[in-house]
Amino acid sequence: MLIDKIRSGESLSFGQQLKLTAQLSWPAMMAQLSSMMMQYIDAAMVGHLGADPSASVGLVSTSLWLFWGICSAVTMGFSVQVAHSIGASDHARGRRILRQSITACFLFSLVVALVGAAIAWPLPHWLGGKEAICHDASVYFLVFVLALPLFTMNYLGGGMLRCSGNMKVPGGLNVLMCVLDVIFNFLLIFPTREIDIFGLHLTMPGAGLGVLGAALGTAAAEIVTAGLMMWFLCFRQDGLAIAKIKEKGSSFKPEWEILRKALKVSAPMTLEHVVICGAQIAVTVIVAPLGVMAIAANAFAVTAESLCYMPGYGISDAATTLVGQSYGAKRKDLAKRFGYITVGLGMLTMTIMGVVMYILAPEAMELMSPVKDIIDLGASALRIEAFAEPMFAASIVAYGVMVGVGDTVLPAAMNFSSIWLVRVPLAAWLAPTMGLNGVWLAMCIELCFRGAIFLWRLFSGAWLKKGL
């Protein structure tokens, strides 16, 4: 395999580097797209229940991203170390890190879940939600935070597999998760009803749980996937199958040295995510006074846009693996070349996706809501955002490149400084006069600025000197 040449020290031509990038990026992109499709499916199904259920989901969605992102960031501190160990052909150390990561990540996510459960009921009121949507919003939030420890095992399993170079299994399992989400949501959200399929009149059973059904369906799909992901990692993955390889002195008890390195990577990422999501929550508070239609349109537009930028996150995952293994093999020149290739590919891909989003914005919104005001508001916002996609790609993939070597402190500071010093003030200034369009114009300007500063750091090469 081409990726083995990184570890063996063999030379890779530009064509081989490009081919390897594409081989790892494609399954990672599919995994990210399928993950976002789950949110799209939830939004579309709930959207057909009406504006209030849609707004209840949209009100707490950014808060859920905060909790999910904190747990995901913690797993990266261990995954990056595994990538470096595999790059150095030290699989025993990789297995030792994996064992300890399971214990540390599960305990951390359990604490986060308890914090989330404690604030679930007052949260919608804090965010400025109207009484009519607060109950459903709290229930939706509570289901997801209680399932966080199992979600975290999904993040950990997928991250470990990707950092070992296995993109196909996480990609395939994420597609399965998307299919399960459709099935579970279809049965849980809507009541028993009569449907016609190719002329056949059928009675479709349903629980009729509405917003609660959407949360339970998605959580169930992710939990099934987490079990399969961890099973493959621990029983089947070459070099990391801890259940098959018995080693003297192996322990699930975390060691300080591994925890210290995990903290060096994860702490800035976690802080960054908290600050960024705090800014996104602040934007939700800015949008809330614009009314239920604006809240729903904003939430649906964010979901629709995710189909545009998720390929960038898939390429970013591939960049972390390629750069991480190259860095672990002490091949810094190769790590730099993979950085340039992956960022270029990400910008090209998301430019194309931005053009598609601009053209199909109304159709994308129609899939999620039958309400004309929501469709018009969301489509207008999406067309503003389409212009930012190339530079958004630069920030996403360049960040993945820097995470690959363990450089997270300054990139994290760049991310949260950009969103707090540019997006939030601009949104607060523009929203009263331009409405939802003003909020999205602020986002577009900020993402272009963020992409520019990440490109500057990438080409400076300073990130290679700040690794683990």
Locate the domains of the chain by residue range: 2-465
How far, in Å, CA of 286 to CA of 296, rounded? 14
Residues near 342 by beta carbon (within 8 Å), at least 6 away in sequence:
21, 25, 315, 316, 318, 319, 322, 323, 397, 400, 401
Residue 306's pLDDT is what? 78
CB atoms closer than 10 angstroms to residue 358? 17
- By C-alpha distance, which of 406, 372, 374 is closest to 296? 374
Residue 31's pLDDT is what? 64
Residue 102's pLDDT is what? 94
Q: Which residues of the chain have pLDDT under 70?
A: 1-3, 8, 27-28, 30-40, 43, 197-199, 248-249, 467-468
Q: What is the pTM of this model?
A: 0.74
Residue 221's pLDDT is what? 92
Q: Which residue type occupies 299?
A: A
In the block, tokens 């272009």 appear at: 448
How far, in Å, CA of 267 to CA of 70, rounded? 9
